[in-house]
Structure 1
């Protein structure tokens, strides 16, 4: 359980900068966080989690030190190493009396039914599935019927990613619960970004979670798998719990370098502590269901409207990082107007060689000439950028396999002072179909920090200029598939 335990101590040091390094570690999250919040009345603390392992350490420390509640909401929860270790950490929290609620979108969840039901059987754990029409508890016949009769409905996914601890600390951003979001995949990892927040903004995140949790679209897993639940005895559940604990206890699942990182955390203490910025932080979120449209695939949403409003206020510069770049209706006109007013617009997205989503790239490919002609400066991330050596802490261990490193971060900086970090991809799906969340903060320190990182990702050693036709560097098979996808009218779903 290497990755998950590491993470736990990291945040302790990150948050407890008012305590001497040599002092005994506080026993609970509240003992660490409450004095910090009280010393910054009316303000929320914000810390950017750029590295995958750092983001994992934050989640793990918070999970192990929460005393009252943990609420997590994810688009993807995989049954890989990270997914299993995360489940085991939540189980341990529940076993010490913490109330745990887990809400996961139905589309890409691949957890075994036995594991979900056994966890749901625990008195301190509740699991719900959002918009369950394609996967959990859905037969093949019913799945086909749902596609035929409700194409819009099945495409309305919950893309939110939040983790909330004792109502005092939260994490939101691009990362799902799977190996590739924390630099532990041996073939493909994501360059991603999260924001750790403390204080008042967490109450807004908690309110958003509650709306989704109580929504009719959030269905208890035991209701979806009612027949299987009848077979889930306490003995079978106990066996599942034992299996999770045994997996986490094995050395091969909790690597030595992770333990070493925990031991080295005191040396990083000062840098982590100084990274917390206290200011007003706004939480952007959509409502369950996104919007009231029923047959069309447009409609927008609260997050979309808020981001458009911020964009239109730009006077000097707009810097965006998004894994997918498919202009929603009206977006290109907004950028053209900004550029006419002298605003510099720069966007870094994935290249054909690095992208994990050929369908989305096909939409971008159709628009690329018009985007460049508008005056937007576009950069396409290389599959082997130099920056991965710095961002992936355990890169020497992965260097021989040379995994692809692709953008998954969703961030925007306006005029060097306004920062957005969240789940919003720059595409029609995020604008109109998926529910999205993120934090918006007007703070030049954090804005500059993230903008500099995005600009570094645009550098020649990390990205190609989109004007240079970097498609030729992608494998021939990928280029052939791209030509196929471009023939299909997929834009509303991208």
Structure 2
């Protein structure tokens, strides 16, 4: 299946946010069992108009449907439910009234609201200025309907960034399953003398056994190629510094996993967006992101990823340290998926 994987938040056509974050508790440190380490970019200027146009293209696409229409009719994945406009309007009113009442907010939400007066001044101090380009796929991704290939605009643009690298690539991706084309792209970069470091989830931190199976099937070959791979721990030391919610004070803090999708090229160009290093992002999902030309920002982001790669936060895949921390049951489950021919779907 093709999936819209875009994540954009646009305010009045003036300010926008994009990155890896979905709208769910675990992306905002609110889940009591499992949370994600993510990354977003807040952007201003002309690039916001490009993001708005992309949103409108998806909104108007024939592939988009009103949620209330999805429940009409009878089908395997549908319910025989008919709703009229009056019921729909009433439902939206009730949802709106519930959402705007602070009495319904969890304590963590109240904490976040209380931090706003200090958060925005701090954010304004961190703003850097530079050229920004917005990458986006079109609804439907590509015209290839007879195979699982086809790529897309975002894939091609990111491939060109890899081709442009002269010294270094520092990458953070929750999933690491390289297609043959992606492996060839990185192999060429390594031959040019480009150092490639990748931070991804360990089996212990990952909640996606299928993606983990694809990574484990090719981990040894990727290391032999010359890639430096670091696997994120489920309880990294940096978790205590990043957590801002009341959940961080629990006796047993939640598992912390990577969800950021970032690439820094030659310490001067940064991609922040939704693209995972896997065949699904390459060929099936529609993806977005921003490419920012600013050395100051690039070094800040690169430094943050390097911190995540440190021994207290990640295992060095070349040393084979990670697998021993995973339960026998989870290892058995991922071995099952390793035997399945599902790589193009990962």
Q: What TM-score results when the alignment is normalised by the length of structure 1?
A: 0.65
Among 221, 239, 254, the residue aligned to 1:370: 221
Could you tell me which residue of structure 2 aligns to residue 329 of structure 1? Answer: 180
The reply on whether 1:160 has 2:1 as its aligned counterpart is no
Could you tell me which residue of structure 1 aligns to residue 122 of structure 2? Answer: 271
3-state SS, counterpart of residue 441 of structure 1? strand
Larger RCO, structures 1/2 (Cα 8 Å, 6+ apart): 2
Alignment of 1:413-424 (within 5 A): 413-424=264-275
Could you tell me which residue of structure 2 aligns to residue 313 of structure 1? Answer: 164
Please state how far the C-alpha of 1:241 moved relative to its aligned partner. Answer: 2.9
Alignment of 1:127-146 (within 5 A): none
RMSD: 2.0
Task: Indicate if the aligned counterparts of 1:186 and 1:398 stay in contact, CA closer than 8 A.
Answer: no
Alignment of 1:102-117 (within 5 A): none
Q: Distance in 1 between matches of 2:53 and 2:92?
A: 32
Please state how far the C-alpha of 1:258 moved relative to its aligned partner. Answer: 4.4
* CA deviations over 1:202-243 (Å, ceiling 9, x no partner): 111111112212221112234333467854463674366346
- Pair 260,381 (structure 1): closer, same or farther in 2 beyond 3 Å: closer
Please state how far the C-alpha of 1:394 moved relative to its aligned partner. Answer: 2.0
The reply on whether 1:191 has 2:37 as its aligned counterpart is yes
Could you tell me which residue of structure 1 aligns to residue 234 of structure 2? Answer: 383
Alignment of 1:243-262 (within 5 A): 245-246=97-98, 249=101, 251=103, 253-255=105-107, 258-262=109-113
Could you tell me which residue of structure 1 aligns to residue 50 of structure 2? Answer: 204
Task: Indicate if the aligned counterparts of 2:237 and 2:313 stay in contact, CA closer than 8 A.
Answer: yes
3-state SS, counterpart of residue 65 of structure 2? strand
The reply on whether 1:177 has 2:16 as its aligned counterpart is no
Among 61, 70, 87, the residue aligned to 1:224: 70
Please state how far the C-alpha of 1:253 moved relative to its aligned partner. Answer: 2.7
- Pair 430,277 (structure 1): closer, same or farther in 2 beyond 3 Å: same
The reply on whether 1:214 has 2:66 as its aligned counterpart is no
* CA deviations over 1:423-444 (Å, ceiling 9, x no partner): 0000000001111000001111
Q: Distance in 2 between matches of 1:421 and 1:201?
A: 14
Q: Distance in 2 between matches of 1:420 and 1:338?
A: 17
Could you tell me which residue of structure 1 aligns to residue 153 of structure 2? Answer: 302
Could you tell me which residue of structure 2 aligns to residue 56 of structure 1? Answer: none
Please state how far the C-alpha of 1:471 moved relative to its aligned partner. Answer: 1.2
Q: Distance in 1 between matches of 2:92 and 2:56?
A: 28
Could you tell me which residue of structure 1 aligns to residue 336 of structure 2? Answer: 484
- Pair 305,239 (structure 1): closer, same or farther in 2 beyond 3 Å: closer
Could you tell me which residue of structure 1 aligns to residue 90 of structure 2? Answer: 238
Could you tell me which residue of structure 2 aligns to residue 129 of structure 1? Answer: none
Could you tell me which residue of structure 1 aligns to residue 138 of structure 2? Answer: 287
* CA deviations over 1:30-57 (Å, ceiling 9, x no partner): xxxxxxxxxxxxxxxxxxxxxxxxxxxx
Please state how far the C-alpha of 1:248 moved relative to its aligned partner. Answer: 5.2
Please state how far the C-alpha of 1:401 moved relative to its aligned partner. Answer: 2.9
Q: Distance in 2 between matches of 1:399 and 1:221?
A: 37
Alignment of 1:40-59 (within 5 A): none
Could you tell me which residue of structure 2 aligns to residue 79 of structure 1? Answer: none
Please state how far the C-alpha of 1:460 moved relative to its aligned partner. Answer: 0.4
| Aligned residues between the structures | 339
Please state how far the C-alpha of 1:377 moved relative to its aligned partner. Answer: 0.4
The reply on whether 1:449 has 2:300 as its aligned counterpart is yes
Q: Distance in 2 between matches of 1:435 and 1:289?
A: 7
Q: What TM-score results when the alignment is normalised by the length of structure 2?
A: 0.92
Can you give the 5+ residue segments of structure 2 that lack an aligned partner in the other structure? 74-79
Task: Indicate if the aligned counterparts of 1:380 and 1:465 stay in contact, CA closer than 8 A.
Answer: yes
Can you give the 5+ residue segments of structure 1 that lack an aligned partner in the other structure? 1-154
Task: Indicate if the aligned counterparts of 1:389 and 1:395 stay in contact, CA closer than 8 A.
Answer: no
Task: Indicate if the aligned counterparts of 2:247 and 2:253 stay in contact, CA closer than 8 A.
Answer: no
The reply on whether 1:411 has 2:262 as its aligned counterpart is yes
Q: Distance in 2 between matches of 1:297 and 1:258?
A: 41
Please state how far the C-alpha of 1:398 moved relative to its aligned partner. Answer: 4.3
Please state how far the C-alpha of 1:396 moved relative to its aligned partner. Answer: 5.9
Among 191, 196, 200, the residue aligned to 1:340: 191
Q: Distance in 2 between matches of 1:211 and 1:264?
A: 35
- Pair 244,401 (structure 1): closer, same or farther in 2 beyond 3 Å: farther
